[in-house]
Amino acid sequence: MSLGKIIDNKHNALSKRIDKQKVPEHVAIIMDGNGRWATNKRLPRKYGHKRGVDVLKEILKASKKLGCKVLTVYAFSTENWTRPTEEVDFLINLFSEVLRNEIEEIHEESTKIKFIGDLNPFPETLKKIISSSESLTKNNNKFLLNVCVNYGGRQEIVKVAKELALKSSSGEIKPSEVNEELFNSELLTRGIKDPELLIRTSGEKRISNFLLWQLAYSEIYISDVLWPDFNEFEFLKAIIDYQSRNR
């Protein structure tokens, strides 16, 4: 049997084990390990980030095929600004380039794209393409892709607290009215169901300031595979593991 055939068989066997009735609606992913992947291959880190984009495309397809409805990915954290300028600039250019190349297909597939985070520090070119992509796809309803950029969970929570404090001091709300529901309604993810599953690649067992409020009850799956080596097969493994949990 050819290697390709063996891989196909393994893949099919895994697909069959998935309970279509228990597919998570919302999956969040910390796409980690791009730098290590490149370094292991004696390549500059940027090659890991480039390859990481192809993997995101594969996982987006796989999650739609499976019947998920929302994918939220961590692309750039508030802490990532401390990386060398060259890497930060490369990532910012990569976001623009990928968005420019992919937005048509995203739209054709009736996928809505949203960027979550503080976009202010980004260059105008990126801000423009983000805003045109969001408005082009805003009425699409088959699938939602949230891309977290310059996102930090603590910053998001502080922003909500500030917002509620302002509303309280202006008399719009009473302090006694502050509850989880009200808090939720001010989050950047308002209106979106919390993720049932969080996947982090490359073995690190941290949340790294990702969706601190929203992940309160999510199942966590850590994969040792570096993000550029992650694929549909590894994604299905995460789903099967999730389905074995008692929720």
Chain residues 170-199 in contact with ligand IPE, contact rule CB under 6 A: none
CB of 97 to ligand IPE, least distance (A): 15
What are the helix (H) ranges across the chain? 3-16, 34-40, 45-66, 85-108, 124-137, 153-169, 180-185, 232-243
Per partner kind, with CB cut-offs from 5 to 8 A, the member of Mg ion, ligand IPE, none near residue 76 is ligand IPE
Return the closest-CA partner of residue 214 out of 22, 28, 24: 28
User: Of 32-40, 60-68, 124-132, 138-146, which segment contacts ligand IPE by CB under 6 A?
Assistant: 32-40
Looking at beta carbons only, is 90 or 183 nearer to Mg ion?
Answer: 90
- Among 29, 32, 147, 189, which residue sits at the site for Mg ion (rule: CB under 5 A)? 32
Chain residues 203-222 in contact with ligand IPE, contact rule CB under 6 A: 204, 206, 208
Q: Which two tokens stand for residue 5?
A: 């055939």
The angle at the Cα of 132, spanning 126 to 137, to the nearest 5 degrees, equals: 125
Q: How far is CA 80 from CA 75, 96, 127, in A?
A: 10, 17, 18
CB of 198 to ligand IPE, least distance (A): 12
Per partner kind, with CB cut-offs from 5 to 8 A, the member of ligand IPE, Mg ion, none near residue 77 is ligand IPE
Please give the DSSP secondary-structure letter assigned to residue 197.
E
Looking at beta carbons only, is 23 or 48 nearer to ligand IPE?
Answer: 48
C-beta neighbour count of 43 within 10 angstroms: 13
Active-site entry in 12, 40, 80, 229: 80
Kind and range of the H or E element at 72?
strand 70-77
Per partner kind, with CB cut-offs from 5 to 8 A, the member of ligand IPE, Mg ion, none near residue 53 is none
C-beta neighbour count of 2 within 10 angstroms: 7
Chain residues 70-109 in contact with ligand IPE, contact rule CB under 6 A: 74-77, 80, 91
| Sequence letter at residue 189 | T
Q: Is 9 annotated in the active site? A: no
Residues that bind Mg ion (CB under 5 A): 32
Question: Which residues are the active-site residues?
Answer: 32, 80
Binding positions for ligand IPE, rule: CB under 6 A: 30-36, 74-77, 80, 91, 202, 204, 206, 208
